[in-house]
C-alpha cells in the first residue's frame, strides 16, 4: 500500500523539522511544497506532501504518522 500525508505548519523552522523527520522515517517527497497566507492568523503556512510504501491494507483508522 502507498500511504500519503500532507504535512503543514507555520513558516518556521518547525516545518522544516517536520519534513526532515518524515524523510528520516522513510517518507519521500511528493510534488512541490506550497506556501500561502492564512487569512485568520495573518501568518504564512507551508505544506508538503509525502508518500511511503508500507505493508498491509488501508483502514480508515490507520495512524499515518505512526507508519
Print the domain residue range for 14: 2-57
Residue written as grid cell 500561502? 36
Q: Is residue 48 included in any domain, yes or no?
A: yes
Which distant-in-sequence residues (6+ apart) come within 8 Å of 42 by Cβ?
none
Supply the pLDDT for residue 65: 87
Is 62 contained in some domain? no
pLDDT confidence of residue 57: 92
Closest to 47 in 3D by CA, of 65, 23, 30: 30
Domain assignment present for residue 24? The answer is yes
Does a structural domain hold residue 50?
A: yes
Direct distance between the N- and C-terminal alpha carbons of the chain, in angstroms, rounded to an integer? 11
What distance in Å separates the CA atoms of residue 23 and residue 44, rounded to the nearest whole number? 23
pLDDT in tens, 33-45: 999 999 999 999 9
pLDDT in tens, 6-57: 999 999 999 999 999 999 999 999 999 999 999 999 999 999 999 999 999 9
Q: Is residue 45 included in any domain, yes or no? A: yes
Count of the separate structural domains present in the chain: 1
> Which pTM does this prediction carry?
0.88
Amino acid at each position: 500500500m502507498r500511504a500519503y500525508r500532507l504535512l503543514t505548519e507555520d513558516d518556521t523552522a518547525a516545518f522544516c523539522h517536520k519534513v526532515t523527520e518524515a524523510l528520516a522515517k522513510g517518507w519521500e517527497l511528493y510534488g512541490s511544497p506550497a506556501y500561502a497566507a492564512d487569512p485568520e492568523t495573518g501568518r504564512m503556512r507551508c505544506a508538503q506532501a509525502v508518500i511511503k510504501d508500507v505493508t498491509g491494507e488501508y483502514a480508515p483508522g490507520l495512524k499515518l504518522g505512526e507508519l
